[in-house]
A and B are shown apart, each in its own frame.
Chain A
Amino acid sequence: MLCQECEKKPATLHFTKIVNGEKTEFHICESCARERGEGIPGTSNGFSIHSLLSGLMDFEPAGGVNTIGAKPQQQLRCDNCGLTYTQFSKMGRFGCSNCYTQFGSKLDPILKRVHGNTTHVGKIPKRTGVQIQIKREIEELRRELHQRIEQEEFENAAQIRDRIRELERNIADV
């Protein structure tokens, strides 16, 4: 999204300003923000930085998904908690963990916008996440295997290949 002021640089600051209950959204770049003295704490009449987050919660990506698909979007509803996608975009909150699956395909642009990313790389639950742990280990070993082969370290590569096979058997067993 381009800065709405200069229309040249990408907007990095997103504000939601609420005056008398009326919501206005701003998407501006760093240098325009500085020029206008807005968005930076300590300046008078400026927005405070904590409103940045609510600015990030402006869910529909530029262009608006809703207008593209017209009506079928209205029907999207979580069959576990009953939350509709429209309700979700208004509240900015999911109703249950199942919503993540139900709204699956539409989430990537939102997550990308909020986090710059769509995939978890952090902690995995120890007890219930054993399978995932093993899968991650296999992925890592595969990367290493490639490297070894490229560097023509075939003996090492063979060992890694055996370890991968062993882990894959473990997954099949669980």
Chain B
Amino acid sequence: MSKRSYVEEALSDWMRGNGPDSDVVISSRIRIARNLSGHPFPLLATTQQANDVMEQLTSVAESGKLNEHGQFETIKLSQLSELERRVLVEKHLISPNLANESRSGAVMLSENEAVSIMVNEEDHLRIQCLYPGFQVKEAWGLANRIDDIFEEVTDYAFDERRGYLTSCPTNVGTGIRSSVMMHLPGLVLTQQINRILSAVTQVGLAVRGIYGEGSEALGNLFQISNQITLGQSEGEIIENLHGVARQIIEHERAARQRLLDESRVRLEDRVFRSYGILSNAMIMDTKEASQRLSDVRLGIDLGLIRDVSPQVMNEMMVLTQPGFLQQVFREKMTPEQRDIRRAELIRNQLQRKTDHGGV
């Protein structure tokens, strides 16, 4: 296993599309923020201080202490090209923030890409567990155990009253961010999405687009996460997210059923129209690709399209991102060239999957 495979292979476990409730929930993620006591946070650290932290933390993976949770490889961000870093961002293995801060940043990745441990992001340590489908509790269980492994050998910055001390006051306390990536075309099409999402924000949860802060929700994908990290226990935080997400899943399924019952032909038209465009278009920008892929994914989940697997859709949602596209075709492209290559890649994928009767 080398850094090459993380960059070149499209499929992380979370993209396989086979987790529980994966007709609505694409992935579940837990992120825990931790810092070492006595060291300045990455934002203010000198290169020497940041390197000290990096050595101390990466030595945990090298000592084999993480072994029972997989085979880990440590990748220093300085070893990666700008494009390779972008690909890791598109695969959700590192944050955009870490990709930009390549000075003393590192990531420890598990072989199946379910765990990525970021060093010198905004905080010294960010443990991320990413599971396919609706598995928030499972992801928390794993993140919690990995946290214990680091805590055994490093002194965390912890305060009795404030909890785990983080660079940003929005993370202090538990340092935990739990989130689910949901595909909600039914709620969007039936125009219930605003009501539901505004209700979600009222119970202390936040809603974001697919690549987190600074991006819009493309392709009917919404990331729901906890906003509060202080004054609630990890259990309460996760239970809250879990309960709300469970309700959204049910609403989404009901909305899809309603669409089938009340406007089946219009829905079919939308799905097959998008399928036709994806299979034939010569130029396709990110925005249109996301929307069309969302339509086809909905068609697959409703059984309207049977010869394409949901896995292909998850894969394509990642593959058609700008960084990945340039990696696949091994060339640097202008946005227009990318739109042409994107269309080509989607056509080929759909062609291939139909020829072989799906995966």
Contact = CB atoms under 8 A, between A and B. Distances in A.
Interface string B167-190: 111101110100000000000100
A127 B230 contact: no
B250 interface: no
B158 A122 contact: no
B169 A96 contact: no
Interface string A71-106: 000000000111100000001111111001100000
A43 interface: yes
B331 interface: no
B170 A56 contact: yes
Interface in A27-55: 30, 33-34, 39-43, 48-50, 52-53
25 contacts: A30-B202, A40-B197, A40-B198, A41-B197, A41-B209, A41-B217, A41-B222, A49-B197, A56-B170, A82-B44, A93-B43, A94-B168, A95-B41, A96-B40, A100-B162, A107-B169, A114-B170, A114-B228, A118-B161, A120-B164, A121-B232, A122-B176, A123-B233, A123-B234, A128-B151
Given A41-B194, A48-B216, A93-B167, A119 B227 contact: no
Given A30-B198, A127-B152, A116 B158 contact: no
B206 interface: yes
- Most chain B beta-carbon contacts within 10 A, residue among A57, A110, A127: A127
B231 interface: yes
**Dominant secondary structure of chain A at its interface with chain B:** loop
Contacts of A135: 160
B37 interface: yes
A21 to B, nearest CB: 15
Contacts of A125: 151, 156, 158
Nearest to B166: A94
B197 to A, nearest CB: 6
Interface residues of A, number: 51
- 5 A-B pairs with least C-beta separation: A117-B231, A120-B163, A97-B157, A115-B230, A122-B174
A65 interface: no
A124 interface: yes
Interface of A: 12-13, 30, 33-34, 39-43, 48-50, 52-53, 56-57, 80-83, 91-97, 100-101, 107, 110-111, 114-129, 132, 135
A127 B151 contact: yes
Contacts of A127: 151-152
Interface string B224-252: 00011111111001000000000000000
Given A50-B208, A97-B157, A122 B193 contact: no
B42 to A, nearest CB: 10
Given A53-B227, A115-B228, A123-B174, A41 B193 contact: yes
Nearest to A37: B194
A120 B194 contact: no
A81 B37 CA distance: 13
B199 to A, nearest CB: 10
Contact of B230 (A39, A118, A124, A126): A118
Contacts of A50: 206-209, 212-215
Contact of B35 (A81, A92, A97, A107): A97
B155 interface: yes
A114 B169 contact: yes
Nearest to B152: A127
Contacts of A80: 40
Contact of B161 (A93, A94, A120): A120
B114 interface: no
A56 B227 CA distance: 10
Nearest to B215: A50
Contacts of A119: 161-162, 230-231
A97 B161 contact: no
B347 interface: no
- Most chain B beta-carbon contacts within 10 A, residue among A82, A114, A118: A114
A135 to B, nearest CB: 8
Nearest to B237: A122
Given A50-B208, A95-B44, A128-B155, A122 B232 contact: yes
